[in-house]
Structure 1
Amino acid sequence: MAPPPGPVTRPGPVHPGYGPPLALLAAPSHRLYARLVDFGVLIALVLVVLWAGLTLAGDDGGARGANALWALWCALGYLLLYDPLAHWLFGGRTLGKWLFGVRVVRLHDGGPVGLFTALGREWFYLFGSLFTGLVAGAGFLIAAWCLWDTPFKQGLHDKVMGTVVIRSRPAAGG
């Protein structure tokens, strides 16, 4: 596993002799594509757990209801823990982030995110999106904030938890 990239700074000048920036910020499109892959993984996991819970119950109505409730709790657990555990255990990467070459790091030093930072980041994203979506119809703003944020292209969940999403490998073709 490669060491952390170091502090995240603004991209520097592109003139020869100045050197590259310490870390390059991830493109919003890569963040979106990674999120879509991770959402697909979550949906698949939830469907498998729900199917297993309902199938194992057989025809017994009481057991079927209990298994469905158990499966629902497992699905909720996946939803709340998939991203944070992946970020904590796999160097800021989920499956989607790994596929698109991006990862989450601490803003102040570029190091890996800890468990509580990862939990706070994801839960702010989930509950903030749910709340603003229900109240103002604007749940997408939590993540979309990175489209106009300067200088680090952070979503609101990144700002709150002091994280930033960077490229973990060079972009294709460049």
Structure 2
Amino acid sequence: MSTDQPRPGSGEPPEDDPFLKKPQHPQEPPADSGDPYGGAPRGPAAGGPYGGGPPPGGGPYGGGPYGGGDPYGAGDPLAGMPPLAGRGRRLVARIIDAVLIGVPVGLIMWFIVGGVDYTATNESGRQSVVSGVTMLAYLIYEGIMLTTRGQTVGKMAMKIRVAMLENGAIPTAQAGWVRAAVYTLPEVIPCCGTIFWLLNVLWCTWDKPYQQCLHDKAARTVVVSTA
């Protein structure tokens, strides 16, 4: 008799016994996965919309422009942003800047273009020259101040500053000069320029959520508090 196969009662079943093998379910996960759904990672480390993990950064159209909020726009768009500057403080800052530039430039130009002939025609021409030079001086003043520190003297006094909507940085050269130009230059257009200027400065009273004037929208900036 062959001795290759164990005899009955020996206590060692044959290795090829089909009744003693552990059945393997075709959908059973790997033994070391620890996950009943096939070993896919779950929880905060997984990432993705269903596996947890932090959402991607913000942006002006994806939640807070300073990196907070919901990337699909459902969160607070002001999340992470410094408090927006009050409209009253913005108005006072403009008045300070207008006096700071307008008074000395106006006096200098009065002495330069002034004369003894005060007829209506000469007076109107002189006022146009003074207004044009004052406007140009204000444009240069604001453009330089915004692109170098984000504040004019008036804004420093009122503890507010201009920031890029996207990331809160000091305005870029393009943004600073565009903002200054849209605020200043339309006034040279007779009648319509004054209407546009008034609409521009009032726009922040009803604009949501960033309280932007039209020159802010053109430059993609906001005005925030520094204190």
TM-score relative to the length of structure 1: 0.68
Query: 2:101 aligned with 1:49, yes or no?
Result: no
Name structure 2 gaps, 5 residues minimum: 1-64, 69-76, 115-125
Aligned to 2:219: 161
Aligned to 1:59: none
Q: How does 1:14-163 map to 2 (within 5 A)?
A: 21-51=80-110, 53=112, 75-89=134-148, 91-128=149-186, 131=189, 133-134=191-192, 137-163=195-221
Name structure 1 gaps, 5 residues minimum: 1-5, 13-20, 56-67, 170-174
Give the distance between the partners of 1:139 and 1:108, measured in 2 at CA.
Answer: 25
Percent identity of equivalent pairs: 25
* Contact 1:107-1:164 at 8 Å conserved across structures: yes
TM superposition shift of 1:132: 8.8
Greater shift after overlay, 36-45 or 133-142?
133-142
Larger relative helix fraction: 1
* Contact 2:145-2:151 at 8 Å conserved across structures: yes
* Contact 1:129-1:140 at 8 Å conserved across structures: no
Q: How many residues align?
A: 142
> How well do the aligned residues superpose, as a CA RMSD in angstroms?
3.0
Bigger relative CO (Cα 8 Å, ≥ 6 apart): 1
* Contact 2:183-2:197 at 8 Å conserved across structures: no
Partner of 2:212, secondary structure, is coil
TM superposition shift of 1:150: 0.5
TM superposition shift of 1:74: 5.5
Partner of 1:139, secondary structure, is helix
Give the distance between the partners of 2:205 and 2:89, measured in 1 at CA.
Answer: 12
Amino acid at match of 1:166: V
Give the distance between the partners of 1:54 and 1:158, measured in 2 at CA.
Answer: 35
Partner of 2:139, secondary structure, is helix
* Contact 1:132-1:139 at 8 Å conserved across structures: no
Give the distance between the partners of 1:113 and 1:78, measured in 2 at CA.
Answer: 20
Amino acid at match of 2:97: D
Q: Which has the larger radius of gyration?
A: 2
* Contact 2:186-2:194 at 8 Å conserved across structures: no
Aligned to 1:15: none
TM-score relative to the length of structure 2: 0.54
